[in-house]
């Protein structure tokens, strides 16, 4: 009875403070004693106070995340939008600086702060391998590389550096890390996975503390933590099973029993939650035929031990039906009842808001489910410090692509390359190469192409080709920087007979070839062959009579067995990112190769899926394989 009286009194008070207008817009009358605005009040009390003041429209707005191109400050205010995001390749202006990003975010935040309760929006962005949307940011090696390092401390440092660069642009929320366990390299997102081995993936969850900060002693269990102005709210993704789909097809079905799901896929999420991860993104894929965006059983399992919020993927709820968006009302209903808290719309916000509001008013979705979602969203906003500091400043704009961060990325490159062959026989290694020799020829489409070297999710969603979109060092430039000034370097993308004939006196050929950039479904590949013309460059270069070192740039293992006999040395560089100097550090012996495969290298595609521990395990190079060299071996002359 007391609760009912209190709610009634609160309702009468609120009615006295504002009157409804067209479109349910309200005036700015507010209670002078707003506990939620007092930073000295405990966070949970602030949430309770603020939630008690909110209308249904304000709550639904908080659950809505829209993309920048459709947003305006007026829309942020009118619809009480809770979050904005930048999709892959979207920028405030062409070649935007860090200051341009801060300016844009402040513009939109101004609209949010003009709402009746002044709830700040939270801005999120994909951070796949560094602050990859931003020109001149440090582009770290992709996760497929980082698993090779077996170095959680290094990965944590990468998280710390990434958080600083993200905050430099005024952004407090990063969609990272991806903790998928990729069990089939045909998957177009395989390079976003650290390993086929769930234990390596679990070790790499230390990146959560790099992004968000180390938990203080005796911090509440399973409670989000964001440790200051140079940290960001993280996002463990994609819950759950996205790396195990049938034939590696993106957004496909994962067939798995509960025992394997709990022992192989769930531990990385449990660890991320224990380390204070702020949010979890739900997967496009299905588990045993049930779309994860509508999988109440598994989302409940997550949220029983997780106090942050669950967010959809891009238009993820649309995929609940087939074809997508066939019944949008049902998709809204199924996703919210399943336990999703924030929906990445990203442009159809009026339909989402209208449908969700009606479903609540019609009592299809209970208000308790809405309050749970908004409580979790507000919790992350309070912990991120947005209520005290909603507007980013310019104090960190010089932290994009710093020398310290690039040196860290270079270290990650050195530790993440795998030497798979070194010499025609074990007694005749050719790596490391001498820095002082007569002539080295460098060939291949990937030798002098920073975009190819970085891969997908670099400036553009699908990546790019060329050297003009971001800063870094190509492998060709790195080789030139490293060798003795007397050593001649000749370069050609193609292995033309004329070029090879003119340079037949070369001591070595360094061939840098591989896949062109891709992301998500566009990277799905059922054949996994080395693309043309890279195959031809390998064949011609490695049969020309010149000793041949092949460096493969790829997001996963590819079919190399037919070409391997002709190679004198073979290096799996995967997707090393912007700091190609790390490649030359190994080729010429300034550091030794130490990387060990975190994925099985298959012989033929018809063996897939094939992972370490499988019954009929017959790889070309097994999980954990990697030859080593010693530092300093390449300092001399030929």
DSSP-assigned letters across all residues of 62-73: HTEEEEGGG--H
SS3 at position 181: coil
Q: How many CB atoms lie within 10 A of CB 48?
A: 15
Which tokens sit at 304? 């029983």
- Given a contact cutoff of 8 angstroms between Cβ atoms, the answer to whether 413 and 576 are in contact is yes
Query: Which residues of the chain are modeled with pLDDT < 70?
Result: 1-32, 633-638
SS3 at position 511: strand
| The predicted structure's pLDDT at residue 347 | 95
Single out the residue of 165, 193, 8 nearest to residue 102, CA to CA: 165
Where would I find the beta strands (DSSP E) of 475-561?
A: 488-492, 508-514, 547-553
- Given a contact cutoff of 8 angstroms between Cβ atoms, the answer to whether 602 and 196 are in contact is no
**Rounded to whole angstroms, how far apart are CA atoms 529 and 604?**
10
Distances (CA, A) of 310 to 243, 307, 355: 19, 9, 20
Angle between helices 367-384 and 328-338 (to 10 degrees): 70
Distances (CA, A) of 586 to 151, 228, 412, 592: 18, 37, 12, 6
| The predicted structure's pLDDT at residue 24 | 35
| The predicted structure's pLDDT at residue 22 | 31
| The predicted structure's pLDDT at residue 637 | 55
Q: Phi/psi of residue 488, each to 5°?
A: -80, 140
**Rounded to whole angstroms, how far apart are CA atoms 386 and 382?**
6
Single out the residue of 451, 438, 465, 421 nearest to residue 563, CA to CA: 421
- Given a contact cutoff of 8 angstroms between Cβ atoms, the answer to whether 483 and 436 are in contact is yes
SS3 at position 281: strand
CA-CA-CA-CA torsion for 158, 237, 626, 510, nearest 10 degrees? -70
Give all strands of the β-sheet with 439-443 in edge-to-edge order.
418-422, 569-574, 547-553, 508-514, 439-443, 488-492
Q: What is the DSSP letter of 308?
A: S
- Given a contact cutoff of 8 angstroms between Cβ atoms, the answer to whether 341 and 299 are in contact is no
Angle at 432 between CA 429 and CA 434, to 5 degrees: 110
- Identify any residues that bridge with 168 across adjacent strands, giving them in sequence order: none
Distances (CA, A) of 466 to 409, 459, 491, 555: 20, 12, 16, 18
Domains annotated on the chain, with CATH = 2-399 (3.20.20.300), 417-607 (3.40.50.1700)
| The predicted structure's pLDDT at residue 6 | 36
| The predicted structure's pLDDT at residue 635 | 55
- Given a contact cutoff of 8 angstroms between Cβ atoms, the answer to whether 62 and 80 are in contact is yes
**Rounded to whole angstroms, how far apart are CA atoms 147 and 207?**
12
> For residue 360, what are the contacts with CB-CB under 8 A and spacing of at least 6?
56, 60, 366, 367, 370
| The predicted structure's pLDDT at residue 21 | 31
| The predicted structure's pLDDT at residue 14 | 30
Catalytically active residues are 313, 520
| The predicted structure's pLDDT at residue 31 | 58
């Amino acid at each position: 009875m007391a609760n009912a009286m209190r709610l009634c009194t609160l309702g009468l008070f609120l009615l006295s403070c504002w009157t409804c207008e067209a479109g349910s817009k309200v005036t700015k009358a507010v209670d002078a004693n707003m506990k939620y605005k007092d930073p000295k009040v405990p966070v949970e009390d602030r949430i309770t106070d603020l939630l008690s003041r909110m209308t249904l429209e304000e709550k639904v707005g908080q659950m809505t995340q829209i993309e920048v191109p459709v947003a305006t400050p007026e829309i942020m205010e009118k619809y009480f939008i809770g979050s904005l995001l930048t999709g892959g390749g979207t920028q405030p202006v062409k070649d935007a600086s860090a200051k341009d990003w801060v300016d844009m975010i402040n513009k939109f935040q101004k609209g949010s702060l003009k709402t009746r309760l002044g709830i700040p929006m939270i801005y999120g962005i994909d951070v796949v391998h560094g602050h990859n949307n931003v020109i001149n940011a440090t582009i770290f090696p992709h996760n497929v590389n980082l698993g090779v390092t077996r170095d959680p401390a290094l990965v944590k440092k990468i998280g710390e550096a990434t958080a600083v660069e993200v905050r430099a642009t005024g952004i407090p929320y990063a969609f990272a890390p991806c903790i998928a366990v990729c069990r089939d390299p045909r998957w177009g997102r395989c390079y976003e996975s650290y390993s086929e081995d769930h234990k390596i993936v679990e070790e790499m969850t230390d990146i959560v503390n790099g992004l968000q900060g180390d938990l203080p002693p005796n911090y509440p269990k399973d409670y989000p933590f964001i440790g200051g102005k140079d940290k960001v709210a993280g996002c463990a993704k994609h819950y759950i099973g996205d790396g195990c789909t049938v034939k590696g097809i993106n957004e496909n079905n994962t067939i798995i029993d509960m025992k394997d799901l709990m022992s192989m896929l769930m531990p990385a999420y449990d660890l991320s939650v224990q380390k204070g991860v702020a949010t979890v993104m739900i997967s496009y894929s299905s588990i045993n035929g049930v779309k994860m965006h509508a999988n109440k059983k598994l989302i409940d399992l997550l949220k029983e031990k997780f106090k942050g919020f669950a967010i959809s993927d891009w238009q993820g709820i649309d995929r609940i039906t087939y074809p997508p968006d066939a019944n949008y009302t049902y998709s809204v209903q199924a996703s919210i009842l399943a336990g999703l808290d924030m929906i990445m719309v990203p442009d159809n916000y009026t339909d989402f808001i209208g449908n969700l509001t009606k479903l609540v008013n019609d009592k299809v979705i209970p208000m308790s489910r809405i309050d749970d979602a908004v409580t979790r969203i507000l919790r992350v906003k309070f912990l991120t410090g947005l209520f005290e500091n909603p507007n980013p400043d310019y104090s960190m704009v010089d932290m994009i692509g710093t020398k310290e961060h690039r040196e860290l990325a270079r270290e990650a490159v050195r530790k993440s390359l795998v030497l798979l062959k070194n010499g025609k026989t074990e007694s005749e290694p050719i790596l490391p190469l001498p820095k002082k020799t007569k002539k080295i020829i460098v060939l291949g489409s990937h030798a002098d192409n920073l975009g190819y070297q970085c891969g997908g999710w670099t400036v553009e969603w699908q990546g790019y080709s060329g050297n003009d979109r971001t800063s870094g060092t190509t492998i060709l430039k790195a080789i030139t920087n490293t060798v003795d000034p007397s050593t001649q370097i000749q370069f050609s993308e193609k292995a033309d007979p004329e070029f090879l004939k003119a340079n037949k006196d070369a001591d070595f050929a360094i061939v840098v070839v591989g896949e062109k950039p891709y992301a998500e479904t566009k990277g799905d590949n059922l054949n996994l062959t080395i693309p043309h013309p890279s195959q031809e460059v390998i064949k011609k270069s490695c049969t020309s009579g010149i000793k041949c070192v092949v460096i493969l740039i790829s997001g996963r293992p590819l079919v190399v067995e037919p070409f391997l006999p002709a190679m004198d040395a073979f290096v799996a560089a995967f997707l090393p990112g912007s700091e190609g100097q790390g490649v030359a550090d190994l080729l010429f012996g300034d550091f030794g190769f130490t990387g060990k495969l975190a994925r099985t290298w298959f012989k033929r595609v018809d063996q897939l899926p094939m992972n370490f521990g499988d019954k009929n395990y017959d790889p070309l190079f097994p999980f954990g394989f990697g030859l080593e060299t010693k530092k300093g071996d390449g300092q001399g002359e030929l």
